[in-house]
Amino acid sequence: MRRDTRAVLSDLQLKIVLHGTKPPLWRRLVLPSDTSLGTLHDAIQVAFGWHGGHLHLFTDEFGRGYGAAARLTDIDLGFGRGVGDEGATALGDVLAEEGARLRYVYDFGDDWEHGITLEKALPRPAGAERAVCCVGGRRADVPGEDIGGVWGLAEVLELLDRPDGAGHDLYGELVAELRAAGYDPAAFDRDGITARLALLTPDTVFGKAKPPAGDRAGRGGVGRLNAEDVALCTCGQCRVGDPVDAGVDGPAEDVPVLRPVTLAARGDLVAAVRGVPLFDAALRLAAWCREGRQVTAGRVLRPALAREAVEDLQLWKLAGGDSPYADAVARARALKSLRSAKDVAVLDDPWWLAVDGGMITIGGGRAWGGAATDFAGEDLLEFWAATLCDLLEEIGETGVLDRLHGELGELTAELADGLVELLYDAPDDVWVDVDDLRAKAREAGENGPEFDLFQALFAASFRELGEGLALLGAVEYEPGDGDGLAEEALRTLLNAMSGQEPGGSGPSSAASDRSREDGRGDRMRLTPLGRYGLRAYLMEWGMPAPLLGELAEADADTLLQGLVGYFPEEMRREVEGWLEHRPAADAAVGLLDACAGDGPKAAAKRAVAQLVLAELDDPRALRVLRKAADSDVEGCRQVAAAALGARPGAEAHVDPARAEEAGLWLLVDELSLLAGAGESEELVRGFLENWNTVPKALEGRVDDLWRVKHPATAQVLAELGEGLRSVDKRLAKRMRTAANKAHSRR
């Protein structure tokens, strides 16, 4: 729900993620809602270890930019838009509802991009001090500026782990300095960051700042630095004319768009969290501590109370079947000999979950909790999601199999990342089966000792990840029939690599093969709660994670941009929902208007528009299409003619020759998306895949393609001529000849 930030003063809890870092580097900050974006800029500089020598820019979800008035107010971000004054813009006016996002780019050369999300608003008690503080985070400050952005950072961190890293030509001096200083990239110093943030005095913004000019023009846009901007920059690298990206145009080209999904209702998700045994145990522990329970200096229950808690709350039910706590007699014996609550996993895990989540507070030698009903709704769901993110981030740092180090540990971290995306991409109620995944790898022809090791690592990682996610209720996990064989195969291979005897377990591949022959392998499938949590985690990485139905109220231009990358079924469902919210004729007008323009973005929208317009059967919409097919607006005319030509009885709607001409134009238009990007193989593949999508086979029209009046015709033909050399030399030559004709026609 949207807040009136001028009427209610609050503190805003923000999660700020440095995009592209692996493992994720992020900070959780709390700032007054009535402070300025300028204060947020200062806080980000402190929290991430930046030095402030470069230009920066905020961009909101509507493409409006905000910067320092002395530096950026004269920049035109395109489409007639200027930049708002960050010092006169209240944080609460820009981040006006939970889930709202900002983009913050620091250094327009290295492009350190930070994603900012408003997690929640915290009521500020009357008379409370206005301050900026850090309440969470992960990883150490960025170790240096001017190192090539996140790619340079990744290389610096890799060199830190290599004995010869300090001798690197580009980063050697920095690596040597970091080693001498004892820099630990995994160390997060919350106290140090909070101490530095305490030196900031958050300003106060009165009233509502005027939004930057041209804010209704839409998303995206690129401006250029002028001489005054460069003179104010202290980095010495910015130059007049350097681009300033207004941002929020969508993901980078190398970031995949995740499959659109539907999330369960929030109430159902909260109920699901309460149904997770570990969280249920934590809630019951909190209620059990409501009157205060004595704790040791190590902040755990005294042994006698630990025994009582295990029995009273039946925490032993959390134990597996092979645990001594699963059997009543063995449990009584184990509890009698208990010397520390830390020795009981069935108590220790929910205990620290409750303490870290604020369900239990410790003070004066006692643990104080509250009733289970005190922890409900969004707070409980947020805490669950944060716990899942912490688990996955820890895996990103240490790997799934945390007993492995070095390259093998990094490999298991990459395997876990791939499995997380694979789980998220799987449709609802579909199992992800380890045997199916390994069989696909075998079918690809992979073999040899290294692949055997990879297979064993994969199987063991699959099991570890499945068990960890199941503990949080994120997946349903079913171990396979060959229990322990994956670990056996991995242990055998690692022993062989280190020169140790296999221990009689047989060849490494034998155990791996036996796990497939003896029965079904491990498998898991995502729960609705798990889909919610994985989406939050993947979005922190800057990966687009759309929701089905979120475009229902969008305008046509936003719809077409948002549908790029959707699979056909998800696209169909999204379009059906969109069409339900507007008359068919209005939908057709909006879609066709969005098809005008040059460049790859316009071409991508036209490719999607053809599919959307195919859903319109309303007579009034068809009249709009016929009118557009007779217009002189490039892009709109071709899309309308092609859409009419694809309908049954098309002759009644459009002349077949015009429909064919439009189809050829749109084919070149789609292929232009790949032209000029060094992707000749993709360009050729796209051409061949579209070979029969026009009324006549294209091979018979190659000599006429140069006549297609599209801005990219010559470039597409030239690149096809080069790319088809290995496919069809004769056709490739004809393509090059056609390209020369197209060039000469200009």
Name the nearest CA neighbour of 113 among 535, 540, 563. 540
Q: How confident is the model at residue 708 (pLDDT cuts 50, 70, 90)?
A: confident
Q: Which two tokens stand for residue 725?
A: 């050399």
> To the nearest whole number, what is the mean pLDDT of the chain?
78
Give the model confidence (pLDDT) of 550-578 as tens digits.
Answer: 888 888 888 888 887 787 888 888 888 89
How many Cα neighbours within 13 Å face the side chain of 711? 11
**Cα-trace Rg, the chain:** 30
pLDDT at 566: 82
Which of 546, 666, 655 lies closest to 609, judged by CA?
Answer: 666
Amino acid at 431: W
CA distance 151 to 145: 12
Per-residue pLDDT, 655: 78
In the chain, domain spans: 10-139+188-245, 267-377, 381-534, 548-654, 679-746
Q: What's the pLDDT score for residue 337?
A: 83
What token pair was written down for 82?
């200027």
Of residues 652 and 43, the one with the higher pLDDT is 43
Contacts (Cβ under 8 Å, ≥6 apart) of 143: 49, 153, 156, 174, 178, 183, 185
Query: What is the model's pLDDT at position 273?
Result: 92
Give me the residues paired with residue 138 across strands.
26
Residues 325, 346 contacting (CB under 8 angstroms): yes
Nearest-5° Cα angle at 73, 72 to 79: 100
Residues 274 and 283 sit within 8 Å (Cβ to Cβ): yes
Q: How far apart are CA 712 and CA 600, in angstroms?
A: 10
Q: Domain 10-139+188-245: what homologous superfamily?
A: MM3350-like (3.10.290.30)
- pLDDT on residue 689: 61
Mean pLDDT, rounded, for 309-337: 81
Q: Could you tell me the pTM of the whole model?
A: 0.66
Q: Residue 422 CB: number of other CB atoms within 10 A?
A: 12
Is pLDDT at 532 greater than 70 in this prediction?
Answer: yes
CA 154, chain centre distance (Å): 18
- Euclidean distance between CA atoms 350 and 284, whole angstroms: 9
